[in-house]
């Protein structure tokens, strides 16, 4: 694959939240997981663990868990809470629960600070998730990155029998997109690239710190 093709996949990947019927084949799933297997990780610890499900009842239960969380937060702050519903987790072909073995952090012998070890640990697993998403996008499959927040973690952990020694970090649905969202605005390269030293004139103002920044 040449760079232009790779860049095209990166640019066309989307966070898909509306899916249609269609199977992700075992071969496609294996390729997606193989992409994750080759992700870079701190000290080559490969801290990721993936729980894969195609079980429709489990997917319905995941949807119920996230729906209960959404309703609770909406009740607490009906005016300002803008969280997106996650009903789509019940509509996909396969879901991957992304876990991490935090015991691998002890291998980071040159990293002494606890916070630095945590950064390296989470970045390693995030690398694997990103590579899964790009592999899926290359096959015209949709994905979306779903956080496992404290409010839903215990029920998800119980549903999938995730050991207490593992961190349960993210849920990644994979399926056939009913529609592909348009690209959101991206900052210009010149806005965030600095040569030799940081250009303080480019530091964003507080008013510019927002989701999906405009040009």
Per residue in 146-158, pLDDT (tens digit) is 999 999 999 999 9
Taking the C-alpha atoms of residue 99 and residue 110, their distance in angstroms, rounded to an integer, is 24
Exposed e or buried b per residue across 184-197, where buried means at least 16 C-beta atoms within 10 angstroms of its C-beta: eeeeeeeeeeeeee
Per residue in 90-149, pLDDT (tens digit) is 999 999 999 999 999 999 988 889 999 999 999 999 999 999 999 999 999 999 999 999
Return mean pLDDT, the chain: 95
Residue 111: its pLDDT value, please? Answer: 82
CATH number of the domain located at residue range(s) 3-186 in this protein: 3.40.109.10
Cα Rg for the chain, rounded, in angstroms?
A: 19
Global pTM reads: 0.94
**pLDDT of 212 above 80:** no
Taking the C-alpha atoms of residue 63 and residue 89, their distance in angstroms, rounded to an integer, is 6
Residue 215: its pLDDT value, please? Answer: 47
Mean pLDDT of 61-85: 95
In the chain, % of residues over pLDDT 90: 89
Residue 214: its pLDDT value, please? Answer: 55
Taking the C-alpha atoms of residue 124 and residue 132, their distance in angstroms, rounded to an integer, is 13
Taking the C-alpha atoms of residue 30 and residue 46, their distance in angstroms, rounded to an integer, is 17
Residue 128: its pLDDT value, please? Answer: 98
Residue 6: its pLDDT value, please? Answer: 94
Higher pLDDT: 184 or 66? It is: 66
Domain borders along the chain are 3-186
3-state SS, residue 170: strand
């Amino acid at each position: 694959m040449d760079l232009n093709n790779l860049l095209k996949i990166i640019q066309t990947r989307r966070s898909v939240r509306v899916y249609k019927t269609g199977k992700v084949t075992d071969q496609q799933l294996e390729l997606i997981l193989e992409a994750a297997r080759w992700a870079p990780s701190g000290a080559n610890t490969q801290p990721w663990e993936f729980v894969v499900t195609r079980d429709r009842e489990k997917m319905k239960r995941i949807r119920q868990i996230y729906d209960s969380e959404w309703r609770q937060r909406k009740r607490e702050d009906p005016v300002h809470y803008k969280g997106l519903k996650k009903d789509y987790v019940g509509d996909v072909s396969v879901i991957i629960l992304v876990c991490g073995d935090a015991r691998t952090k002890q291998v980071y012998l040159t990293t002494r600070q606890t916070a630095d070890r945590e950064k390296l640990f989470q970045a390693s697993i995030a690398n694997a998730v990103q590579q899964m998403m790009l592999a899926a996008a290359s096959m015209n499959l949709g994905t979306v990155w779903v956080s496992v927040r404290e409010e839903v973690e215990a029920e998800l952990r119980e549903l999938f029998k995730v050991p207490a020694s593992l961190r349960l970090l993210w849920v990644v649905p994979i399926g056939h997109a009913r529609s592909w969202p348009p690209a959101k605005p991206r900052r210009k390269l010149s806005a965030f690239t600095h040569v030799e030293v940081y250009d303080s004139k480019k530091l964003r103002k507080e008013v510019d710190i927002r989701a999906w920044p405009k040009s």
